Amino acid sequence: MESRLKAPAWAAQMCGVWRKRKMIWLAAGICAAAAALICAPLLMIPGGALMDGAEMKRILAPVLGEGKGFAVWHLLPFYPTIGHFRRLLIESPAFYRLFWNTVGMTAAILSGQLVVGLPSAWAFAAFRFRGRDFLFGLYVVLMLLPFQVMLLPQYIVLQKLHLYNHPAAVILPAIFSTFPVFIMYRGFTQIDAGIMEAARLDGAGEIQIFLHIGLPLGKMGIQAAMVLSFLEYWNLVEQPMAFLEEQAQWPLSLYLPQIGISQAGFAFAVSVVVLIPALFVFALGQDALEEGIAYIGVKG
């Protein structure tokens, strides 16, 4: 037994050092550094949004192809201004159009997913019927496929239904996305089967069981699905790009890259406005989000 458990000398030595309590600080340090590295690029955004256009032009001149040397950045602007926000929020009526497009699309998709996805998830979790496993496997495959694979199929059906170039072209397929069904299903499977059995024996109907047991106890999965969907659809790019020709119907997420780096300050201001709701949902729904991601990986 002793010989089987032999490790390389260097590894054993490393681990010996590791065991010391102090080394936990090293682990924390590495993880904190990784987290900081991941978050660092975002630090540019608030400063950029408040930076005067002239200052921005000066420090970004090399990137804009107007100067030698390298760009620099000021995390805190030397000449702060709310000019970009004024231009965006007061002087750009088109912005509101796009903003409400995004809000409307996201709201329509999320509520649609609740209406059709929630009962589907419940059906998979609570009932055994013929073909259930096959069907559920199909749902999982659909949720894992990239959008590009469904691009042509959806184009064909949207053409047939005369929905091309209509917001419904983005909304309807998203409503029937199988991903939220999967996440909500996972939430429901956490419910103890005995509770449902007991309710059935006591004469509860299927709808009652769904409303009074499924919904309250599967709350975490529902929240997780909504948070994941919000972050996904708030940031739609490919679908509107493929199916919406008129810019007036676009969501903000597709408009933002059109602004271009020559108006970086304005683009940063738009970024702030796009980011705030996403960060808000992220912060509020953090537990649900992490739970939802973990659902994807666990056996069951």
Partner 1 sequence: MLWKSRRLLFLLPGFSGVMLFYLLPFLEVVRRSFLKSGNGAFVGTDNYRAVFENGAFALAVRNTFLYMVAGVPLLMGISLFLSLLLRNLVLRRRLVSAMLLPMAVPAAVMVLTLQILIDRQGLINGVLKNVSEKMAALPAFAAIDYLNTEWAIVVVVCSFLWKNTGYMVILWLAGLAALPKEVEEAAKVDGANRWQSWHYIIRPGLSGSFFTIGMLSVLQIFKSYREVWMVAGSYPQEQIYFLQHLLQNWYLKLEFDRMAALTVILSLVLLAVCLLLQREKSF
Interface pick for partner 1 out of 107, 114, 142, 215 (rule CB under 8 A): 142
CB 166 within 8 A of CB 246: no
Distances (CA, A) of 74 to 33, 82, 102, 141: 22, 16, 31, 46
Residue type, 283: A
- CA distance linking residue 245 with residue 250, whole number of Å: 8
Which residues within the stretch 173-212 sit at the binding site for partner 1 (CB under 8 A)?
A: 173, 175-176, 178, 181, 205-207, 210
Unique residue bearing structure tokens 């073909």: 131
Which region among 79-87, 88-96, 123-131, 190-198 touches partner 1 (by CB under 8 A)?
Answer: 123-131
Which residues within the stretch 85-114 sit at the binding site for partner 1 (CB under 8 A)?
A: none
Q: How far is the CB of 225 from partner 1 (least distance, A)?
A: 13
Which residues within the stretch 13-72 sit at the binding site for partner 1 (CB under 8 A)?
A: 14-16, 18-19, 24, 27-28, 30-32, 34-36, 38-39, 41-42, 44-45, 60, 62-63, 67-72
CB 175 within 8 A of CB 109: yes
Which residues within the stretch 238-277 sit at the binding site for partner 1 (CB under 8 A)?
A: 238, 242, 253-254, 256-257, 261, 264, 267-268, 271, 274-275
Cβ nearer to partner 1, comparing 97 with 200: 200
Cβ nearer to partner 1, comparing 75 with 90: 75
Structure token digits, residue 122: 């419940």
Is the CA virtual torsion 127, 135, 221, 223 positive or negative?
negative
Cβ nearer to partner 1, comparing 56 with 249: 56
Residue type, 263: Q
Q: How far is the CB of 248 from partner 1 (least distance, A)?
A: 18
Using CB under 8 A as the binding rule, whether residue 224 contacts partner 1 is answered as no
Q: How far is the CB of 192 from partner 1 (least distance, A)?
A: 19
Interface pick for partner 1 out of 157, 191, 199, 204 (rule CB under 8 A): 157
CB 276 within 8 A of CB 99: no
Task: Check residue 248 and report its DSSP letter.
Answer: G
Coil, strand or helix: which one is 149? helix
Counting every residue written for the chain, the total comes to: 300
- CA distance linking residue 56 with residue 48, whole number of Å: 8
Cβ nearer to partner 1, comparing 2 with 91: 2
Which residues within the stretch 278-297 sit at the binding site for partner 1 (CB under 8 A)?
A: 278-279, 281-282, 286, 289-290, 293-294, 296-297
